[in-house]
Homo-oligomer: A and B are copies of this chain.
Amino acid sequence: MQKIDHKDCQASLLPIRDAMDVINGKWKLLIYISIANGNSRFREIERSIPDISSKVLAKELKELEANQLIKRTVYDATPALVEYTATEYSKGLGDVLTALKDWGTRHRNQIMSKA
């Protein structure tokens, strides 16, 4: 009888849970990608993501900032000028995004072909 290595399993659960806490939800990664691609102004980001609302965008931006993935800079001008940029630190997400994008593409095909 095989013994299952529960330590290995448990060791994976925690980091994955941590990661998911940050990128969870319908919008966070999409917003991050938009910013990483060069969109920096609130309305610009809003327009770049289909169907997102101001309210959700504002809320998610705060969470992304709290997790140090983006930086919010306010320029002292009238009317207020605010810029969102991806942090150096956030570049570490690159592998996650690549893996998700690749798998998402393949999975779409898989599900479509069987439907």
**Copies of this chain, tallied across the complex:** 2
Cβ of A37 and Cβ of B9 under 8 Å apart? Answer: yes
Cβ of B16 and Cβ of A97 under 8 Å apart? Answer: yes
Give A47's nearest chain B residue, CB to CB: B6
Q: Which of B12, B14, B39, B107 contacts A18 (CB 8 A)?
A: B107
A34 contact set on B, CB distance < 8 A: 9, 13
A106 contact set on B, CB distance < 8 A: 92
Complex interface bits, A1-44 against B, C-beta within 8 A gives 1, otherwise 0 = 01011101110111111111011111001100110011100000
Cβ of B101 and Cβ of A15 under 8 Å apart? Answer: yes
Q: Output the least CB separation between A7 and chain B (Å).
A: 10
A107 contact set on B, CB distance < 8 A: 18-19, 22, 67, 92
With the chains together, A37 CA to B99 CA distance in Å?
Answer: 21
Give A38's nearest chain B residue, CB to CB: B4
A26 contact set on B, CB distance < 8 A: 17, 20, 24
Binding site for B on A (CB under 8 A): 2, 4-6, 8-10, 12-20, 22-26, 29-30, 33-34, 37-39, 48-49, 67-68, 89, 92-93, 95-108, 110-111, 114
